[in-house]
Amino acid sequence: MTGPVTDPVTDPAPGPVTGAAGRRRTGRRPGDSGARDAILAAARRAFGTGGFAGSTIRGIAREAGVDPALVHHYFGTKDRLFAAALELPLDPTTVIPGLVAQGRDGLGERLARTFLGVWDGTPGQGPMLAMLRSAVSDPTTAGSLRDFLTRVVLEPLAGAAGAHEGAALRASLAASQLVGVAMARYVVGLEPLASASIDELAPPLGAVLDRHLAG
């Protein structure tokens, strides 16, 4: 529950200074990107050691040597900070509610296309694959992934699945299909799924996601 915390007074974090120096050549405001990078680095360490539930905005701010208000300014919520730490090419805290808001008709296929698009569009599948790998070997990371999936993916999907009984179970079954596709396509390389195009996969996956969500 307690990750390594740096006291900014006795042990100032070198991140912002280094980051600012690195960015200066690009012409950006040096202080901003340096602090942002330091917050992300502190967040990755905190989520990695304390898990999602065991990490706080306040603790991450302290480790990054910044005010908690700056963390809220850049990232809003802990969910969004977690998503940013995963370096996802899009923000699931806004994308999933956006997909759901378009209605239940075709929701499964939109979900499948978005999910596969994010994974296929990330060279080497980067931090998402690292998180999946880490989740199966480390219970803390598994807990972070579980909390993140529950709040960012399952709760909006359960809302879309309707308020009647079993919505949460149906949403978790839909999430299990997405996790399974990521495992089969990007980790195990199960053919022909691994080489199939998004256009081939989205309709059957979408039908099954709709079946899970609608019950």
112: nearest Cα among 18, 51, 170, 177: 177
Q: How many residues bind a copy of itself (CB under 8 A)?
A: 44
Cα separation, 144 vs 130, in Å, equals 13
- Residue 32: both structure tokens together: 């901003």
Q: How far is the CB of 10 from a copy of itself (least distance, A)?
A: 38
With respect to a copy of itself, which residue has the nearer C-beta, 80 or 211? 211
Considering the rule CB under 8 A, would residue 184 count as an interface residue with a copy of itself? yes
Q: How far is the CB of 125 from a copy of itself (least distance, A)?
A: 12
Region near a copy of itself per CB under 8 A, out of 6-14, 74-82, 118-126, 146-154: 146-154
Considering the rule CB under 8 A, would residue 193 count as an interface residue with a copy of itself? yes
Considering the rule CB under 8 A, would residue 101 count as an interface residue with a copy of itself? no
How far from each other are the two terminal CA atoms of the chain, in whole angstroms?
Answer: 38
Cα separation, 155 vs 159, in Å, equals 6
Residue 108 neighbours by CB distance under 10 Å: 26
Q: Which of residues 163-182 bind a copy of itself (CB under 8 A)?
A: 168-170, 172-173, 175-181
Region near a copy of itself per CB under 8 A, out of 25-33, 57-65, 95-103, 142-150: 142-150
SS3 category, 148: helix
Residue that has been written with the tokens 């999602």 in this structure: 52
List the beta strands (DSSP E) in 119-204.
Answer: none
Cα separation, 69 vs 48, in Å, equals 22
Figure out which of the listed residues 35, 145, 160, 161 binds a copy of itself, where binding follows CB under 8 A.
145
Q: How far is the CB of 155 from a copy of itself (least distance, A)?
A: 12
Region near a copy of itself per CB under 8 A, out of 25-33, 36-44, 65-73, 194-202: 194-202
SS3 category, 54: coil
Tell me the helix, strand and coil percentages in the chain, rounded to 5: 70, 0, 30
With respect to a copy of itself, which residue has the nearer C-beta, 5 or 135? 135
Judged by the rule CB under 8 A, the positions of this chain that interact with a copy of itself are 132-133, 135-137, 142-143, 145-146, 149-150, 154, 168-170, 172-173, 175-181, 183-185, 187-193, 196, 200-201, 204-205, 207-208, 211-212, 215
